[in-house]
């Protein structure tokens, strides 16, 4: 009769099961992206953006968890980097590009919306395949194709179409320019401020998305509630901080802080 497994084998087997569960958790992001696309096609902006935010939260959580359990070692046959990037391209690029087009965030006149979508999709291919997209101090070298956030912000702020054209054009351009963008989880600069700012910022985005996305035609007629206007101010302030830290680091050069090891995910 076979005896019980050695303690080391039992621990390894347990670690492998945890590793697979973490990969399953990561894979939930693709379903969130799928439901985001379905919601766009159903003309439900609130549901679409909330699904994309859910995907972003999954992407933000799976990296630290994967590092904690050393998933790359215990499940070596799965390339976590490839898994993350495939999911990110759907949730951060394809779904929000469809949202931007279908909900007229860009003008359809002269096919400007389709041109914008083309630029978003193609520039993001470069970003996702760029091995040097993250610097040694874990900033992004160029805009990291977080179009899900861009779509949400443009929708929440109710910005004009021509303003959106400028925003999309500038972000596409800086995808190829080494202007630094902060990674809110890995970058050590001002982290004690950035994490609370990020939490308040995302809360404001979710609240404003819920209200504006629920009754867009009624709000267009009667105006925004005071709570949404406050949320919009918080979105502007959070945006100022997140962009400002990246610009500050670009001007001052690389940080010499120790960094958290990369896992391939854009947010985690």
Contact 132, 262 (CB under 8 A): no
Kindly state whether residue 182 falls inside one of the protein's structural domains.
yes
pLDDT digits (tens, 9 = 90+) for 166-219: 999 999 999 999 999 998 888 888 989 999 999 999 999 999 999 998 766 556
Domain membership flag for residue 109: yes
pLDDT band at 1 (very low <50, low <70, confident <90, very high): very low
Q: With contact defined as beta carbons under 8 Å apart, do 96 and 52 qualify?
A: yes
pLDDT band at 71 (very low <50, low <70, confident <90, very high): confident
- pLDDT band per the 50, 70, 90 thresholds, residue 148: very high
Locate tokens 């101010």: which residue? 233
Average pLDDT of the chain?
A: 87
- 2 falls within a domain: no
Q: Could you tell me if residue 88 is inside a domain? A: yes
Q: What is the pLDDT of residues 127-138, one digit of tens each?
A: 999 989 988 888
Q: pLDDT tens-digit profile of 4-63?
A: 545 455 556 777 888 888 888 999 999 999 999 999 999 999 999 999 999 999 988 888
Kindly report the CATH number assigned to the domain that includes residue 188. Answer: 1.20.120
Q: For residue 97, which of 197, 173, 164, 157 has the smallest C-alpha distance?
A: 164
Asked whether the predicted pLDDT for residue 268 surpasses 70, the reply is no
Bridge partners (DSSP) listed for residue 134: 140
Helical (H) or strand (E) element with 181: strand 180-181
For the entire predicted model, the pTM comes to 0.87
> What is the distance between the alpha carbons of residues 31 and 36, in angstroms, rounded to a whole number?
8
Residue matched to tokens 């902060």: 182
267 versus 37: the higher-pLDDT residue is 37
In a domain, 59, yes or no: yes
Amino acid 217: pLDDT: 52
Q: Is residue 266 domain-resident?
A: no
Domain that holds residue 156: 7-252
Residue 7's pLDDT is 44
Which residue would you say has higher pLDDT here, 231 or 268?
231
Is the residue at 153 inside a domain? yes
**Percent of the chain clearing pLDDT 90 (strictly above):** 64
**Domains held by the chain: number:** 1
In a domain, 44, yes or no: yes
Question: Can you give the pLDDT at residue 156?
Answer: 95
């Amino acid at each position: 009769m076979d005896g019980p497994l050695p303690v080391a084998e039992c621990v390894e087997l347990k670690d492998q099961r945890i590793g697979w569960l973490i990969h399953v958790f990561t894979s939930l992001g693709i379903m969130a992206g799928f439901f985001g696309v379905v919601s766009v096609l159903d003309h439900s902006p609130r549901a679409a953006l909330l699904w994309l935010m859910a995907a972003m939260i999954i992407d933000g959580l799976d990296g630290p968890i994967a590092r904690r359990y050393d998933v790359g070692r215990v499940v070596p046959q799965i390339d976590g980097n490839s898994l993350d990037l495939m999911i990110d391209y759907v949730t951060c690029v394809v779904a929000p590009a469809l949202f931007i087009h279908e909900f007229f965030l860009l003008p359809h006149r002269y096919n400007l919306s389709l041109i914008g979508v083309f630029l978003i999709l193609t520039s993001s291919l470069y970003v996702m395949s760029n091995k040097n997209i993250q610097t040694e101090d874990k900033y992004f070298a160029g805009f990291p194709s977080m179009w899900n956030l861009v779509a949400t912000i443009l929708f929440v702020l109710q910005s004009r179409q021509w303003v959106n054209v400028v925003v999309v054009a500038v972000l596409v351009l800086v995808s190829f320019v080494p202007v630094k963008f902060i990674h809110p989880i890995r970058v050590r600069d001002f982290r004690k401020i950035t994490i609370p700012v990020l939490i308040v910022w995302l809360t404001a985005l979710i609240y404003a998305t819920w209200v504006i996305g629920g009754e867009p035609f009624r709000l267009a007629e009667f105006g925004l509630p005071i709570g949404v206007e406050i949320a919009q101010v918080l979105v502007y302030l959070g945006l100022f901080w997140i962009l400002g830290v990246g610009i500050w680091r670009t001007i001052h050069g690389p940080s010499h802080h120790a960094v958290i090891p990369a896992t391939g995910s854009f947010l985690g």
